[in-house]
Structure 1
Amino acid sequence: MKNDSENEICENILQESIDKSAAGSTGSRESSDTGAKSLGFHLFIESQLQPIPPDRTSEESIKIYEEHKEMAREYLEIQTEMAYLSRYLKKLEDKLNSTEQQRQQIQQLVNEKESLEQLQQNLTKQLELLQRQRQNDWTYVNSQDS
């Protein structure tokens, strides 16, 4: 698996080729394909995957070499897409984790609110009981009797 710096290099190369292709897109698709093929994508993949230079005297060898270069370009595109998708997946996972944390925090606050409401009800009942007791325990003392 490639490391992040290799993925970044691949992404930069592909972006440059896309920009170059877009700049030359007024011509036919065939000319932009030829331009993309000549960028040397095959030089940026692992050495064991790079195409072996062709025998210039053999038309079949040149054809195989060109096909291999095209496969290398497609490979880099796929690797780049995988890197983009991995980053996107990480962002989604981070967002999901953040959302889950928020959900847990909300649940904790709801539980705390319910506990506080229950405490308020209990304290209100205790206060009412105390007030009733005070009213019932009061004895009326006439100040003139003393």
Structure 2
Amino acid sequence: MTAHERPGAEASLLDVGQWIRATVPCVTVQDRPARQALIDEILVERRVWQRDYVWHTAQLADGRVIMALGASTEEAERKLAVLHGLGCQWVVRDPEHAVLFEYFPEGHRHPEDVNRVLALTPPRRPRGELTAPSANLPVTPHGRTPGFMR
């Protein structure tokens, strides 16, 4: 795949983020809507479920813990990949900033914390596929196992 070739459906969020970053370098503030339009287009193509915009907390692949606004964890992760050129170790919906406060107990990051690198931690939520139901768990009349919905 060349830098300007649009990534296919199998491409990772990081690959798509790097493609958007290369396609719209965002030299000026006026470039931001074009980047957001590409992000939105990819999310629609991949049928990512959108909710209200809320804050998401993420740990970048380099160890920094950072926040991003998004209507889904996928959108937040894609925005971070576009802005920082890095993948994420994990991303969680965090409207009350509870996860962020675990890393920054004073309730906010100080200027010296912006580039603070933390040890990489395991994902904060399961990602990808739904968990397969266990034979020991009850199944509802609709065939769903309680507690195993996205």
Asked if these proteins are the same fold (TM beyond 0.5), I'd say no
Q: Which has the higher strand share?
A: 2
Tell me the TM-score normalized by structure 1: 0.29
Of structures 1 and 2, the larger Rg is shown by 1
Please state which structure has a larger fraction of its residues in helix: 1
TM-score scaled by length of structure 2: 0.28
